Chains A and B, each alone.
Chain A
Amino acid sequence: MADSLKPLIIVGAGGLGREVAWLVTDINRQKPEWDLINLKSIE
């Protein structure tokens, strides 16, 4: 159910932030858990 997903913003949109975005998609492939809304740059 899409509305049971937890909304998630990753703080930091540099290299590691994008790696974490990949990690989140990997988690969701196993079992949908996170609604990745955005990456938020702190620059």
Chain B
Amino acid sequence: MKSLVIVGASGFGREVACLVEDINKVKPQYNLLGLVDDALEGATVEGFPILGDINYLYSMNPKPYISIAIANPIIRKQLAARLKKDFKFATLVHPSVSMSPYVTIGEGSIICRNTLFTTNVSIGEQCIINVNCSVGHDTQIGDFNSIMSHTAIAGDVYIGPGCYFGLHCTVINMISLGESGTYGAGAVVVNDMPANIVAVGVPARVVKKVKGEA
């Protein structure tokens, strides 16, 4: 059994705690010690203990595996950079996830219930793929993507790192999306998209450009 602490104790962190319980029901793999959060303390409504703030992790011996359960890609990337020297990241895949043997999932990624990957799909490191998403053949999803529930991504799609897809987005086949794009709920993406944009609507149109990382 690997000891595990979830970083982030708000909504998604608690969902990940439940995901870990589901993994353990099939085969005990993780000893979930609790969650850490810089803003919350005590316990979650489900009763999972909030052990302390993020610095509490450094006092733990032996060092646990961690899972960063924060949907914002920028914050997740900063935390991963800060924590990777000292901690190993758990890769968490819900037992109901359906995928062929030809799928790779990067370290630290969290794949939630009923998501489906077909064949030759690659998911980067530290991605969050929420419930009921589907990803088609030959699609590559870069590191630090956050993909919310019911998003459907077709085949032969390239998605750069650090994008955020709201609920129920659709991405058609054979297009390429630049890094750090934000796609509003329900967006239907039918064209290549540049990096560092916000796009919404059907078909998705760029409504805002944002500053890229320095």
Q: Which residues of B contact A18 (CB under 8 A)?
A: 102, 118-120, 137
In the assembled complex, A1 has its CB within 8 A of some CB on chain B: no
User: How many cross-chain pairs have Cβ atoms below 8 Å apart between A and B?
Assistant: 26
Number of interface residues of A (CB under 8 A): 7
* A16-B137 Cα distance, complex, nearest whole Å: 7
Q: Closest approach, in angstroms, between the C-beta of B104 and any C-beta of chain A?
A: 15
* B contact face: mostly helix, strand, loop, or mixed: loop
In the assembled complex, A3 has its CB within 8 A of some CB on chain B: no
In the assembled complex, B162 has its CB within 8 A of some CB on chain A: no
Q: Which residues of A contact B100 (CB under 8 A)?
A: 19, 22, 25
Q: Identify which of B118, B120, B138, B156 gathers the most chain A CB atoms within 10 Å of its CB.
A: B118
Q: Which residues of B contact A25 (CB under 8 A)?
A: 100
Q: Closest approach, in angstroms, between the C-beta of B135 and any C-beta of chain A?
A: 11
Interface bin, chain B: 10 to 19
Q: Which residues of A contact B136 (CB under 8 A)?
A: 15, 19
B residues 75-109 near A (Cβ < 8 Å) are 100, 102
Of A15, A21, A22, the residue contacting B156 (CB under 8 A) is A15
In the assembled complex, B124 has its CB within 8 A of some CB on chain A: no
Q: Which residues of A contact B (CB under 8 A)?
A: 15-16, 18-19, 21-22, 25
Q: Closest approach, in angstroms, between the C-beta of B103 and any C-beta of chain A?
A: 10
* A4-B119 Cα distance, complex, nearest whole Å: 28
Q: Which residues of B contact A15 (CB under 8 A)?
A: 118-120, 136-138, 155-156
B residues 126-154 near A (Cβ < 8 Å) are 136-138
The 6 A-B residue pairs with the shortest CB-CB distance, nearest first, are A15-B137, A22-B100, A15-B155, A19-B118, A18-B119, A22-B119
Q: Identify which of B100, B102, B138, B156 gathers the most chain A CB atoms within 10 Å of its CB.
A: B100
Q: Identify which of B102, B120, B136, B137 gathers the most chain A CB atoms within 10 Å of its CB.
A: B137
Q: Which residues of A contact B102 (CB under 8 A)?
A: 18, 22
7 A-B residue pairs with CB within 8 Å: A15-B120, A15-B137, A15-B155, A18-B137, A19-B100, A19-B118, A25-B100
* A15-B157 Cα distance, complex, nearest whole Å: 12
